[in-house]
Structure formats: structure tokens, C-alpha cells
Structure 1
């Protein structure tokens, strides 16, 4: 295979075919999605205000957007209770709950490796820049 043919073949590869988990990463690991799913999985059904309290740095607007997207993706169930005042609760769906083993594995990986990542970053940041590379 010539260099040009190889370059053309690489250009034609569908990114999702090259990395089949890419769509899952886009759905599950977008900003704020993981903390929301984690909170719903760990603490069960919650109202909007309860989620706001648990995820302190999220804005109400962003929480609303993420909850809608998670509901659309089938990972969260929204239940409206026509009471006075109206009550809305969110809970993780069965589909969302199926991510629990993945989250547990990631939490285990984080516990065993985040210090190593931090050390690697410090080592990298402390070394001399390579010739031709900006600091």
C-alpha cells in the first residue's frame, strides 16, 4: 500500500468504527452527566432541588438541560405529580442503572491511579521543553 493510499484509507475510516465506544463516551461522559447519573444511582429518586444540593457547582439551567438530555437518551425517568404545588422527581432508569458496573470500575481505577496521573503531570510539567516545542 502506498503512502497516498494509506492516507486515503485512514481518511475514510468512520471515527465510530475506529472507536466503537465513542458514541457511549459522548452520551455518558459529557460534562455533568456522570455526576447526575451517579447521584441518582447512589441516592435514588430525587427532586430537582435535591440534585442541585448534591451537585453544588452546577447551575439550574445546565442541570435542566442535562436532565432533559438524559431523559431523551433513556437514562433518566422524569415523573410529574399533579399536586399542589406540583412535584417532579427524577430517577435513574434501568438503562441508566446498567451503567453502574462501568461507574464502579471507573471509581476503582480512579482510586488506584489518579495519584499516578497527578505525578505524571508534575513530572511532565517540570521537565525541560524539547527542542522545537514551546513550553
Structure 2
């Protein structure tokens, strides 16, 4: 390692650096999770679904003032594709669809709460 390349320095034994760096390292996994929750409405949707076990799209739209139907639909689709929420289609007419957290989405809650605690403890 070049002595001026300090961005590659990881304070763990050389053999364990792949835990942090590389294609399967921590950076890749943390970046993946951030991508899953990135977006103006994804966190509000997730927290709303933490509070209520199952919700219809219209109720979510009412509870998230300012979100458009198009953006809400896109964000719900992305969250479902990433496995954080589940879309339940009841196959009824008129159409009835509800969203709920998946098991993976429920497992994310302690991480988000830890992030909140970190933020609160580091206020300027």
C-alpha cells in the first residue's frame, strides 16, 4: 500500500480487511442498504408501516402529505422489489391492495432506531 493512500487503511489485521473492503465487504453491504432506503418517501413509508401493520395506498397517501400518487406508487414498488414490504392483492373488484412490512423490513427497525439514537446523541 502506498503510504499516501490512507483511504485504504483499515485498523484491523491485514487478513480481515475483506470484511470492510472488496466486493463482499462492509462498504458494499452498507451501500446496498442505504440504496434500499434512499428516497424522500421510503423512510416515512417504512415508519408508517411500523406503526400500523397493514395499510392501503390511499391511507398511506393521506398520512404522508405532499407525496403524489405516482411517487408513492414508485416508492412502494421499489420497497417491495427490495423485499422490505409486501404487497397484498386481495383479487377483489373494486381493486383492494394493502401493504405491510416483510420480515426483512421488520428486522430493519432496530437499525433505524440505532441510527436515530446516534443522531440524537450527536446533535450540535
Q: TM-score, normalised by structure 2?
A: 0.73
In the alignment, the residues of structure 2 paired with residue 84 and residue 45 of structure 1 have an alpha-carbon distance, to the nearest angstrom, of: 19
**Rg (Cα) greater in structure:** 1
Matched, 1:30 2:39: yes
Aligned to 1:58: 67
Note the residue ranges of structure 2 that are not aligned, 5 or more in a row: 9-20
Aligned to 1:112: 121
Aligned to 1:45: 54
Higher helix share: 1
Cα root mean square deviation, aligned: 2.7
Moved over 3 A (4+): 1-4, 13-18, 110-114
* 2:122 counterpart SS class: helix
Give the C-alpha shift of residue 113 in structure 1.
3.3
Aligned residues: 111
Kept after mapping to 2: 8 A contact 1:80/1:89: yes
